[in-house]
Amino acid sequence: MRPPPSVGALVLPVIYRAIKTHYPQLLLRNPPISDAENQLSQFQTDLIIDNMFCTNRTVQHHVLFTDNMVLICREGNPLLSLGDDRETIDNAAHILLLPEGQNFSGLRQRVQEMFPDRQISFTSYNILTIAALVANSDMLAIIPSRFYNLFSRCWPLEKLPFPSLNEEQIDFSIHYNKFSLRDPILHGVIDVIRNAF
């Protein structure tokens, strides 16, 4: 099983409980991902949970959950008192999340239309780094709401109200090689994970 670290923090507690209830004998591993689609198509890994888009025909997926996007800032950020003033938000420094190898061109385009003049001051693929930077600066970032709910317990973060952004959604799915369904235990594990969400 290979969710990226940040996704793993969201899903692995739920998955671990569900699998241990139905398959207590299984050992779960969470090694790093290098090339998700190839690793799945070549049976180098059994499952990947992520928001990636796969083009390989042997890789199937099922959406586990859909999450809304939120604009975040640190507690006490002066922008919290301004509401959804687009110009002020555009002029603030932003951190851009760069998902690795994933196809989010539609979402990126819609976000760019919402914030056409935003000032990108930092980019990162690591959502943990982004949350820590936002909590310790006046920068803003757009992240999925479940990550905000998780990270706001670790850092002093707040959501900036921006209704049109909050309507944007991102899917998190379980991915596997379709031929893996021939293995009855793996097929059962996939069903258990799907039912856990």
Which pLDDT score, from 0 to 100, does residue 41 have?
Answer: 84
Residue ranges and CATH numbers for the domains of the chain are 5-64+171-196 (3.40.190.10), 66-170 (3.40.190.10)
Sign of CA pseudo-dihedral 173, 179, 180, 182? positive
* Amino acid in position 27: L
pTM here is 0.84
Helix axes 184-196, 5-22, angle to 10 degrees: 110
145: burial class by Cβ within 10 Å (0-12, 13-18, 19+)? middle
196 phi and psi, to 5 degrees? -70, -20
pLDDT in tens, 162-181: 888 888 998 899 999 999 99
pLDDT tens digits for 39-89?
A: 888 888 899 888 877 778 899 999 999 999 999 999 999 988 876 677 788
CA distance 32 to 36: 10
The H or E element containing residue 176 is strand 169-177
Predicted confidence (pLDDT) per residue in 10-25, tens digit: 899 999 999 999 999 9
Taking a C-beta distance cutoff of 8 angstroms, is the pair 44, 117 a contact? no
